[in-house]
């Protein structure tokens, strides 16, 4: 939110994810412009050390994150198939 507060104080023009613009729509301090900006695919990554000094807890945490996002992917897919999106 500190970045958002700075941008509001500076009257800035910036590229934001649609979800952020949607979340802030009731504040009346943000205006979405009607244009589409293409963007590259993005990925969430876990960076770990490659050496043998890595803690086993790191591997357990990484596996926990992977399984959580795998479950989330299935929930999102099921939601997308169940919801009729408005135009």
**pLDDT at residue 87 above 70?**
no
Distance CA 29, CA 70 (A): 36
3-state helix, strand, coil split of the chain in percent (to 5) is 50, 0, 50
pLDDT tens digit string along 33-73?
888 888 888 887 877 777 777 788 888 988 999 899 889 88
Task: Give the global pTM.
Answer: 0.44
Rounded mean pLDDT of the chain? 82
**pLDDT at residue 85 above 70?**
no
pLDDT at residue 37 in the model: 82
CB 27 within 8 A of CB 6: no
pLDDT at residue 67 in the model: 92
> Would you kindly state where each structural domain of the chain is located, as residue ranges?
1-38, 43-87
């Amino acid at each position: 939110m500190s970045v958002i507060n700075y941008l509001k104080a500076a009257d800035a023009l910036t590229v934001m994810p649609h979800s952020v613009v949607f979340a802030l729509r009731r504040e009346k301090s943000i205006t979405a412009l009607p244009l589409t900006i293409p963007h590259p695919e993005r990925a969430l990554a876990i960076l770990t050390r490659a050496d043998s000094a890595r803690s086993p807890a790191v591997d357990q945490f990484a596996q926990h994150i992977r399984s959580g996002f795998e479950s989330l992917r299935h929930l999102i897919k099921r939601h997308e198939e169940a919801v009729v999106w408005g135009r």
